[in-house]
Structure formats: C-alpha cells, structure tokens
Amino acid sequence: MTTSGDTPYAVSLDQVSKSYGEVTALEQVSWGFRTGSFTAIMGPSGSGKSTFLHCASGLDRPTNGSVRLGGVDMGRLREAELTRLRRERIGFVFQGYNLMPSMSVERNITLPLSLGGRKVDRQWLTEIVHRVGMAGRLGHLPARLSGGQQQRVAVARALVTRPEIVFADEPTAALDPRSAGHVLKLLREAVDEMGRTVVLVTHDPVAAAWADSVVFLGGGRIVDELTAPSAEAVLARWDSL
Ligand SMILES: Nc1ncnc2c1ncn2[C@@H]1O[C@H](COP(=O)(O)OP(=O)(O)OP(=O)(O)O)[C@@H](O)[C@H]1O
C-alpha cells in the first residue's frame, strides 16, 4: 500500500535540521519510513531522538529541510491544517499514556474521531478494542486500569483513525516486561496485520528487537542502521557506537 502514487514512504525527511538557539539538535537528516515497516530509533540521551520524532510527525517544524507525509509537504501547511492532518493521518503513543482522566475507555479511544467530527466505525472499533483486550472495560475510567492496560487503550486510540503512520515515544519505558511485551506485540500486529507503519523511539534493545530495523542517532545525525535486529545485535551495535 502506498499513500500517494509516487512514494513508497509513509513519511520522508529531506535534509532536516533543527536548532534551538545555539544547539543543533538535528543536522541534515534524510530518511524515509517505508509504508508497512516497523522502525526503532535509538541513540544516547541528547542524540536527537525526540527532536527527530517531533519533526517527523509534524509536532514541531524543522529549522531547515522538509518532511512529507505521503505526498503532502507538512512544512507548507498552516497550523490548523497541520493539526487536522496529525489528528486524521498520524497516530501517537506516549510514555505517559496521555489519556483523558474524566473520559471512559471508549471515549478516550474514539477521541481523535470526535475531535474531528467524524463518525465511529463500530466494526473497526470492536476489532481494535478486542485486539488490545479492552472489550470488557469500555465504560471504565483510566484510573481503574493498570499502566499496561492504559497504554493498550492509548494504542487503540492511535489506531482508531486508521493512520498512515504511528509514532510511539518510549511507550514501554514505564511498564513491566510482560506489559511492555503486550504493547510491542500490538505495534507489531499493527504493521503485520493492519498494514500500518510504526516508528518506535526506545532505549531498550529488547523493545527495538520487535522492529524490522533500528536507526541509530548520534549528535543529531543518523550514524547507523541495523536490519532484522536481535536484542543482542542491538546491544553490540550500541556498544560499538
Ligand atoms: N526545546 C528545546 N530547547 C533547547 N534545547 C533543546 C530543546 N529540545 C531539545 N534540545 C536539545 O537538543 C538536543 C537533542 O535533544 P533530544 O531531546 O531530541 O534528544 P533525545 O535523544 O531525545 O534525548 P533523551 O534520550 O534524553 O530524551 C539536546 O542537546 C537537547 O538539550
């Protein structure tokens, strides 16, 4: 599946730089996330991972260079258009779940649709709710759920719009290994069984090993890539950087 006639990439970055005053957080990064791929982003603290994710997902604008979602140059969009594009075509999963505490699980999952005034596809909702194991919890408030369950709700919310790409920023950092494995399996299934594209920022070699490839950042640049990663290979590559 491609998102426009002429690109195999869900998102592509061309010579993207981002500076904060004197600090260059990203330096001329070019990269493409192939549609239907699962990519992990790794790198030491301060290497630019968050900045990369924010620029690639349209949460922030690069200082230089361009970012395309399918055929759309996000830099050319006005703020309101960019907000709508993010809501309708991109899914987000954050370390802290970011659920609305006063809303039920169901309302949290369907929030990207209701914010955009779109109707809920009940069949699709039922499918993703079952996939994330929350069918019996739709009326619950997030506070009644464990961290792992809350993150699974966040994954369902990220998938409810059938986004072209999902960005997950350290989604398992606060979870025990079993809950983390459950969330990572869901992201893997989003790629393998739902045809989505997933980008995962992580510090954890075990989490990165769920991806098809690992991109290593260092000093605001892409310094290496590892395909078909195992946790051991990720660790070895990390040690050699
Ligand atoms: N809003 C900001 N204002 C000023 N400097 C920033 C800002 N955001 C990031 N930086 C700087 O840009 C560089 C890259 O930061 P970034 O947060 O992208 O790295 P990271 O790899 O995600 O780090 P971590 O693993 O610690 O989250 C760092 O030197 C950081 O201090």
Q: Which atom from ligand 1 is nearest to the alpha carbon of 220?
A: 14
Residues with CB under 6 A from ligand 1: 20, 23, 25, 43, 45-51
Sheet holding 38-42, edge to edge: 90-94, 165-169, 197-201, 38-42, 213-218, 221-227
Q: For 53-108, what is each residue's pLDDT tens digit?
A: 999 999 999 999 999 999 899 999 999 999 999 999 999 999 999 999 999 999 99
- Taking the centre of ligand 1 as the mean of its atom positions, its distance from the CA of residue 3, in whole angstroms, is 31
Beta carbons within 8 Å of 235's beta carbon, 6+ residues apart: 205
Question: What CATH architecture does domain 9-240 belong to?
Answer: 3-Layer(aba) Sandwich (3.40)
Tell how strand 72-73 and strand 165-169 pair up: unpaired
Per DSSP, 80 falls in state: H
State the Rg of the chain over Cα: 17
Beta carbons within 8 Å of 52's beta carbon, 6+ residues apart: 26, 29, 41, 201, 217
Give the model's pLDDT for residue 5. Answer: 52
Q: Which atom from ligand 1 is nearest to the alpha carbon of 43?
A: 21
Q: Copy the structure tokens of residue 210.
A: 């769920």
Give the model's pLDDT for residue 241. Answer: 78
Q: Which residues of the chain have pLDDT under 50?
A: 1-3
Tell the residue nearest (CA) to atom 13 of ligand 1.
25
Bridge partners of residue 199, in order along the sequence: 39, 167
Tell the residue nearest (CA) to atom 16 of ligand 1.
48
Per DSSP, 4 falls in state: B
Residue found under tokens 């599946």:
1
The shares of helix, strand and coil residues in the chain, as percent rounded to the nearest 5, are 40, 30, 35
**ipTM > 0.85 (yes/no):** yes
Give the model's pLDDT for residue 2. Answer: 43
- Taking the centre of ligand 1 as the mean of its atom positions, its distance from the CA of residue 81, in whole angstroms, is 26
Pair 228, 215: CB distance under 8 Å: no
Q: Which atom from ligand 1 is nearest to the alpha carbon of 21?
A: 4
- Taking the centre of ligand 1 as the mean of its atom positions, its distance from the CA of residue 48, in whole angstroms, is 6
Give the model's pLDDT for residue 148. Answer: 96
